[in-house]
Amino acid sequence: MHVPGLHVVVPSTPRDAKGLFRTAVREPDPVLFLEYKRLYSMEGAVPEDVEPIPLGVGEVKREGEDVIVVAVGPMVNKALEAGILLEDEGIDIEVVDPRSLSPLDVDILAESARKTGRAVVCAEDALMAGCTAEIACAMMERCFSNLSAPVRRLAALDVPMPFSPPWRTR
């Protein structure tokens, strides 16, 4: 996210993957297309004529009034599931998918944060220096006086993730 001229996109649905990929191949600047393995097994409608999704344009995946949850990649579906569970407790969450981390659609984040007054940012990357830090900071800079509480971040622990099968069982 911090490399000037490098765009970073993170799709959360098959439809978004196709739309963002169509944009990425047409973009004259380099685009880092982050694919989570969990997306490979996801099913969803993907029409032939999916329009390219512009870089830097997020999407509200679920309208809500109580708290905004900014979710990145596979965490979008987890946030949508949480939204259904929290309805039973009377908590109405708004789920926002940035889709593009660089450029970042700060306007959609700020608008939702101002509306709800509370914000949570969740992603699977590391907590330290991860995308959640930049997103939370962007919202705090633009909406500090509109927030009822500090922006909270949910991310992976700051530990290496072993990939070798013998190490995963330890």
Peptide bond into 28 cis (omega under 30): no
Burial group, residue 90, by CB count within 10 angstroms (0-12, 13-18, 19+): exposed
Sign of CA dihedral 102, 156, 81, 49: positive
DSSP label at residue 50: P
**pLDDT for 28:** 96
Q: What does the alpha-carbon distance between residue 87 and residue 90 come to, in Å, rounded to a whole number?
A: 5
pLDDT confidence of residue 19: 96
Say which CATH class 59-156 falls into: alpha beta
pLDDT of residue 167: 65
Token pair 């029409």 in the structure block, residue: 47
- pTM recorded for the entire structure: 0.90
Per-residue model confidence as pLDDT tens for the chain (170 residues): 889 999 999 999 999 999 999 999 999 999 999 988 878 888 888 888 889 999 999 999 999 999 999 999 999 999 999 999 999 999 999 999 999 999 999 999 999 999 999 999 999 988 888 999 999 999 999 999 999 999 999 998 888 776 777 766 65
Residue 110 contacts by C-beta under 8 Å, 6 or more apart in sequence? Answer: 138, 139, 142, 143
Q: Own/partner pairs for 17-24, CB < 8 Å, 24+ apart?
A: 18/46, 18/50, 19/50, 19/51, 19/52, 19/53, 20/52, 20/53, 20/99, 20/100, 22/50, 22/51, 22/52, 22/53, 23/52, 23/53, 23/54, 23/55
